[in-house]
Chains A and B, each alone.
Chain A
């Protein structure tokens, strides 16, 4: 059972941690770094509650080993806010009531941010495709889609 010294950047801050080979990225974030905004839902690569950005790509952090993230840039929901100001996607989820229980919300917003970083004018179909790996059991998705559309509009005007 090997242990590894890894370095990674999480929400702009450099970290050096020692991890067991089998430690999952989501556990590193939540337990070692105490960033509990990233949720564990199904733990079986289905629900997307644990979605984080790994070098800009949204991935399910329950299905990445912490040691695989060595040298990477990670963004969690805690990293979306900048200088005390919510990210436009966060603002839009708030304004459009893009959540009910809130469990899926960190993952949804991370996926939404990744989509809009690539394309500021996605169609509704593209939005629904992008979030198809993030499950929500409350909203029926309508307000989530609306929130991402509204954030896209805001970002286009910036």
Chain B
């Protein structure tokens, strides 16, 4: 399959890339790893007159801790995230997530920024970033701005990024002690989108009560879903099985999946509940809660 014709641009700097995007407006698409965009163009589900490749811009691939945040460069490949020591030792939820995105070959090209900026509610990083209460950094003609992840996803394949903005960084607050997170995904086979998946990030106090909870669902509606009612059930309460079960029921109520070959609405909602239980229990265990 061959995409329809387009012009390709490989700017060497962020200002150069923004200038190209400003010039071409809606007729341009940013290409990062291209692992979502190229299949879309090949299948001709989408078209672009101009592709602006940010792959030649130096300094957009990094994973480091700075100023109380984990900072992930917008063009960081999933394979680099997976191999990052700080991710392996301190952000198990990110490792869980990266490992179930597509397959290892795709992860050698696919990027974390692309996974978010594509705006696909079936992608895996959005739920994780909601659970972690991440902030997205965007650069455009007027400089840099930060977008809280809760305001980033605006619709199906739509984000808060303007046509002339580039996602340059993801910032995740470094969790305090006694924190843990997990991402649990049900997929029919390696490389498939989630039938259902849940991301949980929690912090406990000395008595084993939740002081912070982030819970979000993948592929459970037109945008990634934060299960706010479920978070409220847990905040300030003991991390026990009954509470977790109740929170997971609330999370499933927040899911509005669509039926497809992966299952019916009822099945997917039930799987969202089951995975929310598992993600919360694993997060609590990793926080040292049991």
Alpha-carbon distance between A36 and B8 when the two chains are bound, in angstroms: 26
Instruction: Decide if B104 is an interface residue (CB 8 Å cutoff).
Output: yes
Q: Are B39 and A58 in contact (CB under 8 A)?
A: no
Instruction: Decide if A132 is an interface residue (CB 8 Å cutoff).
Output: yes
- Report how many residues on chain B are interfacial, defined by Cβ distance under 8 Å: 29
Q: Are B191 and A64 in contact (CB under 8 A)?
A: no
**Inside 8 A of B10's CB, which chain A residues have their CB?**
67, 70
**Inside 8 A of A59's CB, which chain B residues have their CB?**
105, 108-109
Nearest chain A CB to B244 CB, angstrom units: 29
Select one of A24, A43, A57, A70 contacting B108, CB under 8 A: A57
- Return the CB mask of B19-46 against A: 1 if under 8 Å, else 0: 0000000000000001100110111000
Q: Are A21 and B108 in contact (CB under 8 A)?
A: no
Chain A interface residue count: which class? 20 to 34
Instruction: Decide if B106 is an interface residue (CB 8 Å cutoff).
Output: yes
**Inside 8 A of A67's CB, which chain B residues have their CB?**
8, 10
- Tell me the dominant secondary structure on chain A's binding face: mixed
Q: Are A45 and B106 in contact (CB under 8 A)?
A: yes
**Inside 8 A of A76's CB, which chain B residues have their CB?**
none
Q: Are B106 and A60 in contact (CB under 8 A)?
A: yes
**Inside 8 A of A95's CB, which chain B residues have their CB?**
none
- Return the CB mask of B203-237 against A: 1 if under 8 Å, else 0: 00000000000000000000000000000000000
Q: Are A111 and B34 in contact (CB under 8 A)?
A: no
Q: Are A22 and B190 in contact (CB under 8 A)?
A: no
Instruction: Decide if A158 is an interface residue (CB 8 Å cutoff).
Output: no
Q: Which of A45, A58, A111, A130 has the most CB of B within 10 A?
A: A45
User: Which residues of chain B have a CB within 8 Å of any CB of chain A?
Assistant: 1-8, 10, 34-35, 38-39, 41-43, 51, 53, 55, 79, 102-106, 108-109, 190-191
User: Which residues of chain A have a CB within 8 Å of any CB of chain B?
Assistant: 1-2, 4, 20-22, 24, 27, 43-46, 48, 51, 54, 57-60, 62-65, 67-68, 70, 111, 129-130, 132-134
